[in-house]
Structure 1
Amino acid sequence: MIRSARLVAGVGAAALLVTLSACSSSDEASPSASGSSTKLSGTVTVFAAASLKESFTTLGKQFEENHPGTKVTFNFGGSDSLAASITGGAPADVFASASPRTMAIVTDAGDASGTPATFVRNQLEIATLPGNPDKIASLKDLTKSGFKVVLCDKEVPCGAAAQKALEASGLKLTPVSYEQDVKSALTKVELNEADAAVVYKTDVKAAGDKVEGVDFPESADAVNDYPIALLEDAPNADAAKAFIELVRSAGGQQVLTGAGFLKP
């Protein structure tokens, strides 16, 4: 009897150990089973300054590769018009502006979540026809009579920066047209509809051999900070935060500086 009782007790203890071990394994597996590491999915809509088109398109593809099941869509344009669309209720997750002033339009309206962060800076350059046939060497050369120059609209960050550079040099310039974004201004030169345009260095670089860039010292007085922000009513906030993290990461910065942007 005593031996039988001991045998039963031993079997019971073994069963208890198996049960406890199973519970322990289940508990260890539960974090991944419960999805504590959130899998991103869905579309991220990014409103971004036109000058970010090439680098952000690259980062968008990288983001989709890093997070299967996601898609990044972009609306590139003048920062002022993008800001107006956001405050007007256009659905978007992220806003990347070419100046703090245009970002303030969104933050002042209460449409940004948290504090915008500056992620890059950009500097102006004169874009001329390939080979620089007019031998442009300075900002002053753009004021020559009969010379066709294009600027961004004064409300657009690249236009505001150009005006600041002109004021710093004490020059007055009457362009043949004001364009709504930097890409439109550059296109005028590429199509030989203008002799030169004042745009960003990044856009000159992106255009390759279609234009030639000319540095001018006054551009140092008109460097633009680029802020990025998660939007208050972002339809896909988790994925939007992850995209912003990519932009600000070492890898994201490498893509941006490779495109000609300056570090913040």
Structure 2
Amino acid sequence: MKNLISNTVTIAYRNLLKTLHNPDELLDVIVQPVLFMLMFGYLFGGAIAGNVHNYLPIIVPGILMQALLSAASGSGTQISEDMHTGIYNRFKSLPISNLAPLAGQLVADILRLVVAAIASLATGYLMGWRPAAGFGWVVIVVLLDVFLGWTISWIFAFYGLIAKSTTMVESISLMTMLILIFLSNAFVPVKTLPNFMKVIVHLNPVTYVISASRTMLNQGIWSNEAWIIFGAGVLIIAIFAPLTVLVYNHKS
């Protein structure tokens, strides 16, 4: 166990360094949430909420979730790339724990998710957003959303292991992220949508994550939706952690 922890930390550090030196991965974690916050805030703030200041309480939780989904999807891409370039074969030749490469990737994902969350919220704050419920609830929202994002990383990691190419992983991950975000209440009030779109939005789990985040940030209330989100995260881990480890052991 001690070797597994030590090896996992080393691999996680390696993956974080790779993110820092890879413009594409850095774009997903830092630049993308900043760009979307600025672009969507100033483009749509006046049309949807009258001005940017009134729009920020709506868009900040949406951009936060978008940033976390984008960061989480990078897990599958990274694992697929390492599998197809032979990096994992090199790891197998080293005297390290067999699970360390997979665990290191998922530990590194936690820090990537935290950085993406900070980039999103800091940009909103600089634009004038202030959480009505106070800073303490911001921390709670970040912890809950990062936890959910990390559980979703297991889904993308599983797909990264079974996909035939890294390009396919990137394409599916991007489409999944866009569908979940844009067919939700991330950027517009649900009441303004056509009836058929309302049905789709209400079936989208991301809608409930964003609603729970808004409730906590604006009212300081831990709602039933927040409990559902936490329970969903635990369920995802219970299903996909064993599946991912099983496939990983089979592939490696």
TM-score (structure 1 length as normaliser): 0.24
The structure richer in helix per residue is 2
TM-score (structure 2 length as normaliser): 0.25
The structure richer in strand per residue is 1
Larger Rg: 1
